Structure 1
């Protein structure tokens, strides 16, 4: 009788464990908790080169609506980029640190897609008081910008910062303590032809979200331990095109 009771108790514990132990397994990657359903065998882990959507509150994240003036004095909106795959950056022309690296990287990307009418770049200045269309045009010429879909955009300061910090989650702010007077992350966002923000998966199957635009393409690794991502960005642009 005792053996029968032990067997019965063991079965109850086993069933309880299967039903009530949480299905969600937490892993930690880059200080972020990664959640995966260990019982959902039909949900395959995305490949590292698979293009994912960025989701927020269960919805695919799109580029927020915008309207700014470019280096030619023309008004450019998010609708002008529909039908194009494009990269977004936040920068300023007098930046003495990461912006030159970012824009050299973007010129290399531009050259990779020379003649591709469905590829573009949107560069939003975080110093619109200084970066007028005239200043932006000279800056573009200095960097050898030739892609007609690469717009250097300036406009209302509050709207620019709202775009960066809320619309994209790419940090930008005024900061007198840093070189140039502005702090920003140096990240690139990739947008598909329908206006959705996209990225590839990391090794855990989660979207990397943004690409390190401030790390030179030919660097193997930086002193801070960051690897360049321009080559994978080029691959992902190709995938979306």
Structure 2
């Protein structure tokens, strides 16, 4: 084989190697988002009567909220904002949502199915979850450290946070930092800047 042929082949191999390294780097790049720890384990029932656990979300980027269907204050806004996340990730089976009711006495699987239908839920990985009240309160307040509880003075009888939790494919709770370099912990589920931020970070985690 001629010298020029060796040079040509070597050049092609070098280019292939560079391309492969670049491709792998892009594919497995770190988003730079903070890791806050593992998502709490849970087992609940969705709107179709199916048992759903945190393991069902393994390999997916997903968002968690605590709400209740009869909420007339912040929940409608939260659900509408969650619809934005569904639209941005529609058709992507590596994305999911867990909407966990804090009023399981009224939010049965059947009631949640009706709620999901009225809301316009189409993504197959958006589960509306119900279960034992004490179990859910413990999951919210101690597992995620996202406040939820009964309050007779509150409209609807419950009080809760409007925050969204973001979890990566490995089951880690993730977040960005604020302007001072501090982890924000959770995302504002009520205001558009918070929704824009979580949209961006979902995309980053899907690319990890």
The equivalent residue for 1:238 is 203
The equivalent residue for 2:34 is 52
Q: Of residues 194, 204, 208 in structure 1, which corresponds to 2:170? A: 194
Q: What does residue range 7-156 of structure 1 map to in structure 2 within 5 Å?
A: 50-54=32-36, 61-156=37-132
Per-residue Cα deviation, 1:112-133 (whole angstroms, up to 9, x for no partner): 0111110000010000000000
Give the number of aligned pairs: 176
Structure 1 residue 212 corresponds to structure 2 residue 188: yes
Cα RMSD (Å) of the superposition?
0.9
Between structures 1 and 2, the one with greater helix share: 2
Q: Distance in 2 between matches of 1:100 and 1:78?
A: 25
Structure whose CA Rg is larger = 1
List gaps (5 residues or longer) in structure 2: 1-30
Per-residue Cα deviation, 1:210-235 (whole angstroms, up to 9, x for no partner): 011122x2xxxxxxxxxx31001000
What is the SS of the residue equivalent to 1:201? coil
* Structure 1 residue ranges (4+ consecutive) displaced by more than 3 angstroms after TM superposition: none
What is the TM-score when the length of structure 1 is the normalising length?
0.72
Higher relative contact order, structure no. (Cα contacts within 8 Å, ≥ 6 residues apart): 2
The equivalent residue for 2:161 is 185
Q: Distance in 1 between matches of 2:190 and 2:155?
A: 15
What is the SS of the residue equivalent to 1:155? coil
List gaps (5 residues or longer) in structure 1: 1-48, 55-60, 218-227
